[in-house]
């Protein structure tokens, strides 16, 4: 009987849900717009409040810091590249930031995260927003990795690099009824080829914070921001490009490991979002901070990606067919036979979206900001 009931539910519930959603969509959209308008009128005033931004030395983290600076917030800028943070600090001050504290730390180390939060409380006496932007993408097929030593490093940066700062900051965010802002990606629910580990890590991040949202209830707000696919310098490879930067300067000896070397060879940083006018990162950062100040639970840019939620839930084969059609026209990457008879990419070449490029020099990737 139970099997019959389950089979009946499988047959009836999906189409019935789609019909109900179709009829309810106009009302839900109206209520959502009304909620947005009410939140916009009661937007949080950030003047004099304290915002800690990880990964603030470049890209999304840097632009988020500037957006908070325009709102008059006090800033704590965190990254491994301390020399780069000093330049960001001066720019933030020019944009209207109050006091700006620079902390050199590695957010994949729990003791560093405890220290940077302790420094923040010691200097400002409070913490209102924690913004986690540290992220590391990659652009290779899973079988092209060649060395699994990089795998845990990717997970450390993309997952634990968000969790550790949150764990250290949460008691103080409870005191201030503050907010955690998280930089995620559309890959969490729309996995793309060549991004398997990145997608898995970002999915773990989103699930972690969605669960944490119910644990902290209304005491701490959580904003999960997702953006579209990462791009970079126009004209590189495809029309979107793949921006690559040198590995951070001043990395400690402990970081000069086989995993770091492999990550440097095979990965790229989250640097830009494809959009006209070259202002994608700034626009995304502005949307994130606006959403956080409104108290939004989620910020998605661009918003039209939401439609793929429906396809993934009710018609996953459509996405599968689409990917197969797109990938069927892509040229196969060159490979060389290894000692064991397996195929691996040539050692002096790294994969890119539009083909292959030489490794080393300016083509190397930035490990993290």
172 catalytic? Reply is: no
User: What pLDDT does residue 329 have?
Assistant: 55
Instruction: Give, in degrees to the nearest 5, the angle at Cα 171 between 167 and 175.
Output: 145
Residues in the chain: 369
- The DSSP code for 159 is I
Domain ranges of the chain: 36-363
Do 128 and 179 meet the contact criterion of CB atoms below 8 Å apart?
yes
Higher pLDDT pick, 74 / 142:
74
Q: Which residue, among 327, 324, 332, 328, has the nearest Cα to 356 in the 3D structure?
A: 332
Name the β-bridge partners of 268: 137
Backbone dihedral angles phi then psi of residue 85, each to the nearest 5 degrees:
-65, -30
Which of 68, 172, 198, 209 does the annotation list as catalytic? 198
User: What pLDDT does residue 297 have?
Assistant: 92
CATH number at 36-363:
3.40.50.720
Q: Token pair for residue 348?
A: 């002096």
CA distance 92 to 70: 8
User: What pLDDT does residue 78 have?
Assistant: 96
CA distance 367 to 137: 9
* Half-sphere CA count of 124, side-chain side, radius 13 A: 26
- The DSSP code for 272 is B
Alpha helices by DSSP H, 125-195: 150-155, 161-176
pLDDT tens track for 65-80: 999 999 999 999 999 9
Band of residue 86 on the pLDDT scale cut at 50, 70, 90: very high
Do 210 and 224 meet the contact criterion of CB atoms below 8 Å apart?
yes
CA distance 270 to 136: 6
- Mean pLDDT, rounded, for 39-54: 91
CA distance 132 to 248: 19
pLDDT tens track for 229-260: 544 333 332 222 333 322 333 333 344 344 45
User: What pLDDT does residue 363 have?
Assistant: 31
Tell me: pLDDT of 62 over 90. Answer: yes
């Amino acid at each position: 009987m139970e099997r019959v009931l389950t089979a009946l539910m499988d047959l009836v519930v999906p189409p019935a849900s789609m019909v109900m959603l179709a009829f309810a969509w106009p009302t839900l959209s109206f209520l959502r717009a009304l909620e947005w308008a009410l939140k916009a009128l009661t937007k949080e005033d950030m003047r004099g409040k304290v915002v800690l931004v990880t990964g603030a030395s470049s890209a999304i983290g840097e632009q988020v810091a500037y957006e908070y600076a325009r709102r008059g917030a006090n800033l704590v800028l965190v990254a491994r590249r301390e020399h780069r943070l000093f330049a960001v600090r001066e720019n933030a001050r020019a944009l209207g930031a109050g006091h700006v504290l620079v902390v050199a730390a590695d957010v994949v180390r729990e003791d560093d995260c405890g220290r940077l939060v302790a420094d923040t409380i010691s200097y400002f006496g409070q913490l209102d927003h924690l913004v986690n932007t540290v992220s590391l993408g990659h652009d290779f097929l899973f079988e092209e990795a060649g060395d699994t030593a990089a795998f845990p490093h990717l997970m450390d940066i993309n997952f634990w690099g968000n969790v550790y700062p949150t764990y250290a900051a949460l008691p103080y965010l409870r005191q201030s009824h503050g907010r955690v802002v998280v930089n995620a990606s559309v890959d969490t629910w729309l996995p793309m080829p060549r991004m398997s580990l990145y997608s898995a890590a970002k999915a773990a991040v989103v699930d972690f914070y969605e669960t944490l949202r119910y644990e902290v209830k209304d005491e701490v707000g959580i904003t999960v921001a997702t953006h579209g696919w990462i791009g970079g310098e126009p004209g590189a490879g495809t029309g979107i490009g793949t921006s690559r930067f040198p590995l951070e300067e001043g990395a400690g000896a402990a970081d000069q490991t086989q995993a770091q070397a492999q990550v440097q060879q095979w990965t790229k940083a989250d640097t830009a979002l494809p959009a006209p006018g070259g202002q994608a990162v700034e626009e995304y950062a502005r949307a994130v901070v606006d959403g956080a100040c409104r108290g939004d639970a989620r910020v998605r840019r661009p918003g039209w990606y939401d439609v793929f939620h429906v396809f993934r839930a009710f018609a996953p084969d459509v996405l599968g067919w689409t990917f197969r059609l797109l990938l069927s026209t892509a040229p196969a990457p060159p490979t060389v036979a290894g000692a064991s008879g397996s195929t691996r990419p040539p050692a002096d070449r790294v994969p890119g979206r539009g083909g292959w490029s030489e490794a080393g020099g300016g083509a190397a990737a930035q490990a993290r900001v």
